[in-house]
Amino acid sequence: MTDYVVGFEQIDATMLATVGGKGANLGELSRLGGVRVPDGFCVTTDAYAEATAGDPTLADLVEGLSRLGVEDAAGIREAGTRIRKVIEAVTIPTVIADAIRARLAPPGGTDSGKSGATGGGNGGEPADATDAYAVRSSATAEDLPTASFAGQQDTYLNVSGADAVLRDIRRCWASLFTDRAISYRLRHGIDHRTVRLAVVVQRMFLPEVAGIMFTADPLSSDRRTVSIDAGFGLGEALVSGLTNADNYTVREGRITGRRIADQALAVSAAPDGGTVRETVDPARRDVQKLADADILRLAGLGRTIEAHFGSPQDIEWAYAGGTFFVVQSRPITTLFPIPGPGDNTNHLYMSFGHQQMMTDAMTPLGLSFFQLQMGNTPLVEAGGRFFIDMAPDLASPVGRRILKASLHAIDPLIDSAVRGLLRRPGYVTKLARGGPRFFSLTNNAGYFTWRLPVEAIRLYRRNDPGTIPRLTAGHEVTLDDLQRRLADLSGDAVFDAVQTDVQRLGKEVTDAHSMAVVYVGMYALSWVNRRMKRWLGVEAAGDALSQSVGNDVTSTMGLALLDVADAVRSRPAVLAALPQLTDATFFEDLAALDGGEEVGRVIRDFLTTYGMRCSGEIDITRPRWSEAPSILVPVILSAIRNLEPDARTIRVERSRREAEELEQSLLDRLRTLRGGRRKAARTATMISRLRNFAGYREYPKYLMMRHYWVLKHALTGEAAGLVADAVVERPDDVYFLTVEEFREAVRTRRVDSGLIARRRAEHQAWARLTPPRVITSDGEVPPGSYDHSAVPAGALVGIAASAGTVEGRARIIRDLPEAHLEEGDILVTTFTDPSWTPVFLSVKGVVTEVGGAGTHGAVVAREYGLPAVVGVEGATRLISDGRRIRVNGTDGYVELL
């Protein structure tokens, strides 16, 4: 017989599908020694299914939710209202209603009792328990380790009488389809048909004090600090934000912080049911709500609960008669996981993704593939991202000096956060000293090899314009050879070839000769900027001259897309149909249109050279433009709207002319200075180095992506074989295996489908988290800061990446398919990599949350002459879409107008 109602004493963590997240956690808590949980029971998901199965219209209404978009507020509101009305009107089957009434029977009644049938092993009633109940929703996708869903369904407090409890159970069921719950599931890709609802019914009591406890500090993420909010009355006042709360922080058994709130209002039980707001006696408003001894006792209770569940917890608690009661505990899902081993030593992890302009979560295949390429680089994985343990570098006096000299160029916010930690008394002496160092003379991937300065000096002196063409010609030979070899391979031989090429690629990209070209170009740019400012007072002269440099594959890619835009512009049928084309039949549908074959040839030509690119491209599993050409459609249409025909020719010629005129002007003015002929000669030579070498800055990553595309094509063939043999259900299932696991699946024709499903869900959870720039082995995320001394009040501070000032409408764009831009827009996004270059052609300025003066967005912005500020933390959140802003790329700030 189905159990429609179960007591807390019958519940454990394995019953998530039956009692939901809240119910499962309360069942676990009720079994935990030393933890008191008010008596209660759960109305199971089977009861919900049985009660709602009788209405034939409900399934159709729920099915219709899948056709709504997350931004369709009106559609969500209308559909949710209809579904809730249906559920609130259902008749609860007699067998279910009778089971609930039996659990609610007064003490001495059949199969009941205040501390009997409704209770668990650690339950029981506080001295001031009432005959009322709290009726609380418990969804199967709620209070989980990867998604809390907190507050998505409803809670009803101080509910008296069986009829009222049954009414509110129906209302809880209906709250599975509140607007906020529907939107949350749409945003996180959760099927509405698979989520079911249980209901927790728990005895109410009147606490003296109640609140929330986090066993990891929600502000700093420090796992060693417990943060407690406390207020008079029911905890509802704090959860809803109605009133201020005391806050206490506890670290290692000691109260480290105490903020006493002036609490004007409290929430208490109303005599006729529900709750009521009451004014707190003025004499009590600003007193400490919990005594110090109770604060420490509560923090210890939190650590007990955390240890049981195995992760930091968000705990709702209440205090009455000298006893703490726990009314809920859920995982804190917003904490970023700690990288590295838990070896009880202090580590300091720096985000590798913030340097690579890739802060999105990577798949297991993407992570393991990239790790193969990076070889000896000491990368540590957490939350689908890579981090570098800087502790061994910082523990060494030499390494510490190198880091202090280097971090500001990498990311000023990382630099600021690390320096703040180093200023803490005794911090350096406690750092882990073992392990590989990133800034090592023997570590190629750190770019600090002894050959680098030797090669750079040689290139600098020779200043040979043929250097880059010779380098790239050699790479073309290597790529052609790779393609020929892979064409005849399958199975194990494919993986052998992939591993060999990836490891060779890692060395090739960071080869001292190749990196020396990059550094000479960067030095020439810096020299021109610094000397022209010092000698002539001209700001960012090198940035302006960069607009005419050659051999820049990324800038050329953006210009090449203008040729595609021109091909589309002159063919109205293609222009009208382009937004509706899908990737699966893109070129077939295009060929059926008037002028479509010609446009198709132009797009294919573009993809032959650049189709291996995509956003977040260091993850080999991300869809490349050749796989998903529709990604380019919004960018092409924006170029048509915002730019004139033949824009490529016009822009190239204008940039060349302006650069030549600027160079001549600078040299003429220099000759009028004291020692001017010598200064002019040195400047002319340095400008030639700038033009000869600066364009190569973007080539190593382009080379990486060309190899990635060839290797991905080979791996995709192996994945297709696994699908054909029914080893995996779909090709992208292999993305959730490591390279070695993928290889083993190909060899054995077997794979753990449960492992793939778990990793897919985990990846979706990691994707929702924002990775920190720096995180310690305690889980603390130390904040970084910029110098605000010369910045207008209210401005957002970042890094001056490309000189100039511009005003326009901010467009918040997080992914290329969203890039619908109008003339005069300013791009505001999280990060840009080379795939974003075409977007730069249609905007007036650029603002990013991640980046430095030498990263992709800054380089391309300078070459296109766009004012840019990068590293503006929280830009996509603090700047609203459509807001008029002023970007000062010279001084590095953004004003909200």
pLDDT, one tens digit per residue, over 720-729 is 999 999 999 9
- Its sign, for the CA torsion 637, 643, 647, 651, is negative
pLDDT, one tens digit per residue, over 691-712 is 999 999 889 999 999 999 999 9
- CA angle (448, 454, 460) in 5-degree steps: 110
Most confident among 62-76, 444-458, 722-736, 772-786 (mean pLDDT) = 722-736
CA distance 633 to 236: 49
pLDDT exceeds 90 at position 638:
yes
Q: Which amino acid would we find at residue 650?
A: I
Instruction: Check residues 510 and 700 and name the one with the higher pLDDT.
Output: 700
Which tokens go with 448? 């600090």
pLDDT exceeds 60 at position 334:
yes
Q: What pLDDT, on a 0 to 100 scale, did the predictor assign at position 120?
A: 44
Q: Which amino acid would we find at residue 658?
A: E
Conformation bin of residue 431: beta by default, left when phi > 0, alpha when psi is -120 to 50: beta
Q: Does domain 5-204 have CATH number 3.30.1490.20?
A: yes
pLDDT, one tens digit per residue, over 378-417 is 899 999 999 999 999 999 898 899 888 888 878 889 999 9
Q: What pLDDT, on a 0 to 100 scale, did the predictor assign at position 434?
A: 78
- Its sign, for the CA torsion 458, 461, 466, 467, is positive
Residues found in the chain: 897
Q: What pLDDT, on a 0 to 100 scale, did the predictor assign at position 276?
A: 82
User: CB of 247 within 8 A of CB of 257?
Assistant: yes
Q: How far is CA 780 from CA 219, 226, 332, 379, in A?
A: 9, 12, 14, 19
Average pLDDT over residues 158-180: 91
User: CB of 4 within 8 A of CB of 46?
Assistant: yes
> Which listed CATH number (3.50.30.10, 3.40.50.300, 3.30.70.20, 3.20.20.70) goes with 796-896?
3.50.30.10
Closest alpha carbon to 232 in 271, 283, 273: 283
pLDDT exceeds 60 at position 189:
yes
For the ranges 123-127, 165-169, 356-360, 788-792, which has the lowest average pLDDT?
123-127
pLDDT exceeds 50 at position 183:
yes
Closest alpha carbon to 863 in 802, 822, 816: 802
Which tokens go with 472? 């790239």
CA distance 202 to 727: 47
Residues designated as active site: 856
Name the pLDDT band for 526 (thresholds 50, 70, 90): very high
Q: Which helix (H) or strand (E) holds 249?
A: strand 246-251
Tokens 């090429």 belong to residue: 501
CA distance 611 to 590: 18
CA distance 671 to 684: 12
Helix axes 699-724 and 492-509, enclosed angle (nearest 10) = 170
Q: What pLDDT, on a 0 to 100 scale, did the predictor assign at position 259?
A: 93
How large a percentage of the chain has pLDDT more than 90? 61
In the chain, domain spans: 5-204, 209-331, 476-494+527-676+698-706, 796-896
Q: How far is CA 375 from CA 388, 711, 739, in A?
A: 13, 17, 14
User: CB of 45 within 8 A of CB of 20?
Assistant: yes
User: CB of 691 within 8 A of CB of 524?
Assistant: no
| Helix, strand, coil distribution of the chain in percent, nearest 5 | 50, 15, 35
User: CB of 784 within 8 A of CB of 836?
Assistant: no
pLDDT exceeds 50 at position 623:
yes
Pairing of strands 209-214, 129-139: unpaired
Q: How far is CA 579 from CA 584, 622, 644, in A?
A: 14, 22, 21
Q: What pLDDT, on a 0 to 100 scale, did the predictor assign at position 74?
A: 87
Q: How far is CA 600 from CA 421, 568, 597, 611, 709, in A?
A: 55, 10, 5, 14, 21
Q: How far is CA 34 from CA 119, 126, 759, in A?
A: 15, 15, 35
Which tokens go with 29? 């808590």
Pairing of strands 845-848, 825-829: parallel
User: CB of 828 within 8 A of CB of 334?
Assistant: no
User: CB of 702 within 8 A of CB of 514?
Assistant: no
pTM summary value: 0.83
CA distance 493 to 501: 12
pLDDT, one tens digit per residue, over 823-874 is 889 999 998 888 888 889 889 999 999 887 777 778 788 878 899 999 999 9
CA distance 190 to 586: 29
Average pLDDT over residues 333-360: 87
Q: Which residues contact 226 (CB under 8 A, 6 or more apart)?
A: 213, 214, 215, 216, 217, 249, 250, 251, 299, 302, 303
pLDDT exceeds 50 at position 121:
no
Query: For all residues of the chain together, what is the average pLDDT?
Result: 88
| Domain 5-204 identical in fold to domain 796-896 | no
Q: What pLDDT, on a 0 to 100 scale, did the predictor assign at position 115?
A: 34
Which tokens go with 18? 């039956």
User: CB of 715 within 8 A of CB of 490?
Assistant: no
Q: Does domain 209-331 have CATH number 1.10.1060.10?
A: no
Q: What pLDDT, on a 0 to 100 scale, did the predictor assign at position 402?
A: 87
How large a percentage of the chain has pLDDT more than 70? 94
pLDDT exceeds 80 at position 150:
no
CA distance 897 to 891: 17
